[in-house]
Amino acid sequence: MDTNARPAVLEVRGMTCDDCARHVTAALEGAGAEEVSVTWRTGEARFAWPGGIAEDALRSAVEGAGYRPGTLRLLGMGISKEGIDGSTDYDLVVVGAGSAAFAAAIKATEAGYKVALVEHGTLGGTCVNVGCVPSKALLRAGELAWAAGHHPFAGLSTSSGPVDLRALVAQKDELVGELRQMKYTDLVSDYGFTVIPGHGRFVSPEVLEVDGRSLRARMYLVATGASPAVPSIPGLAEAGYLTSTSALELTEVPKRLVVIGANAIGLELGQFFLHVGSEVTFVDVAERIAPFEEPEVSDALASVLTSQGAGIHTGAQVLGVRRSEDHVEVRMRVNARELDLACDEVLVATGRRPNTEGLGLDAAGVTIDGRGALAVDDELRTTNPRIYGAGDVTGAPQFVYVSAYEGALAVDNALLGAGRTLDFTGLPRVIFTAPQVASAGLTETQAAAAGYEVETSVLPLSAVPRALVNHDTQGLVKLVAEARTGRLLGASVLAEGAGDVIQAAVLAIRHGITTSELAATFHPYLTMAEGLKLAAQTFTRDVEKLSCCAA
């Protein structure tokens, strides 16, 4: 290959099938182009353009094959001045500026496309600003505060005094600012895409209006994320409440806190306030906390929280909220009995709703589903073939790594014609309580619903040497396997560092590893990861009767 060859893309009109792509490939190679890749669905030919090969020669070759050459563009140099067919401002306009949006913008600009992000708020979206980063920074502080006053080791004298929440929040805000600058703001100039401040609204299937300015793009990506959902509870709005966003800004620890919602967000933030001195009560309409996890995990985590002093009411319907002069009263019905809880603050953690309002989706011909999320197919295409969706706004699993995955996949399909489909096999999820809950793949119930005949193993942490030396055996490992083949379908871990342990299970599930193969794999002794090996051995052996590291 010519070392001076430049990557380029040529629009080719008139292609309708794979044979067309092969004809164009042969024509360009005959004209001297190298590493030619042609996709008829997107009407593009991508190749290395050697020095000394005239543009006219390339165009003539395509015309000689019976097709119409369009704009020829050097990758990495942006769109040509006249635009695509003389009518667009950008190859890709992304509405939003969070994880999905930046993943898409980076992927597209690296491929040489001209990209703009439209954002009416702060760069970085939920994760860095009001989600993962700030919450986990505070959670870690809460864990240390609790551990200082509640450790299991003889001969150690430690204590934990009152927490200066104002100082913790200030430190958290500093970290957020640094990461937002490093991982988002600085990347705009590093990659060379454009950020357009303002609110984006479609006024037609082809045009996005941003505060009165009309933009036309070859393709659009809606990546506007999601916001805290607040249920319709009588008196709640009048009494006032915290969400996962505003709770991170409190500068004083509430004496008493009621958390409505006991899934990931509610459990994490509720335990944080428990750890820094609040009297915390969890309330959930489901019959158990962490209702999407394995029942054994839910029960064990509930035991941990109650042992730390939390109250838990499940199967509870909140009837109303009322604020008096010195407290807030939450009225609920549990097991046909009405109960009043007095508290100082109410934290609502009942999920998040996709941000689709005000986008002009009707004018764009884009459908939303019953949850208010963008209706997308398995290639992330909406009902308007020029508009794709990615991240929390699509109703996908609301994890930042899923958003980034979808942003890149959307670009692959919208601009590169890859035809990739979503694949969440072995997708991990983590609840950052202490101990952590981490899961991957299917739960026992999900596997059975999918038609699998399954067998399971449940290993208590009391059988894991790492937990014994930590003097902390609250937790377990559960594996779900296909009964006929032994193939691992799902894994759940409740333990310190479970979020790190689960990655081995992710790989095992994605690559079809069996429990016997997992049991035969080396796992370092005195790590929580060894729990996976022991749980796998449990399918065929009594691990209580094995010596340390016995194979």
Residue in 113, 127, 343, 405 annotated catalytic:
127
Catalytic pick from 1, 77, 132, 332? 132
Sequence-ordered list of residues with C-beta below 8 angstroms from that of 72, at least 6 positions apart, any chain: 8, 9, 10, 11, 55, 58, 59, 80
The active-site residue, picked from 20, 219, 332, 528, is 20
Buried b (16+ CB within 10 A) or exposed e, 243-276: bbeebbebeebbebbbbbbbbbbbbbbbbbbbbb
SS3 percent helix, strand, coil of the chain, rounded to 5, is 35, 25, 40
**CA distances (Å), 149 to each of 156, 434, 450, in order?**
11, 15, 46
Catalytic annotation, pick one of 1, 17, 90, 343: 17
**Active-site pick, 1, 67, 90, 405:** 67
By DSSP bridging, strand 256-260 and strand 279-284 are parallel
Active-site residue flag, 343: no
77 included as an active-site residue: no
Contacts of 464 (CB under 8 A, 6+ apart): 473, 477, 495, 528, 530, 531, 534
Contacts of 90 (CB under 8 A, 6+ apart): 79, 114, 115, 116, 194, 215, 216, 217, 218
Does the annotation mark 219 as catalytic? Answer: no
Q: What ranges make up the beta strands (E) of 198-255?
A: 200-202, 207-210, 213-222, 226-228
Clarify whether 127 is annotated catalytic: yes
| Catalytic residue, candidates 191, 343, 401, 548 | 548
Residue labelled with tokens 């489901």: 286
Catalytic residue among 77, 182, 525, 549: 549
Helices (H), 193-330: 236-239, 264-275, 295-307
- Quote the tokens at residue 382: 């909406």
User: Do residues 272 and 172 lie in contact, with contact meaning Cβ atoms separated by under 8 Å?
Assistant: no
- The catalytic residue among 15, 332, 343, 528 is 15
Q: Quote the Cα angle for 428-430-432, to 5°.
A: 165
* Residue 548 annotated in active site: yes
Task: Give phi and psi for 180, each to the nearest 5.
Answer: -60, -40
Catalytic residue list: 15, 17, 20, 67, 127, 132, 548-549
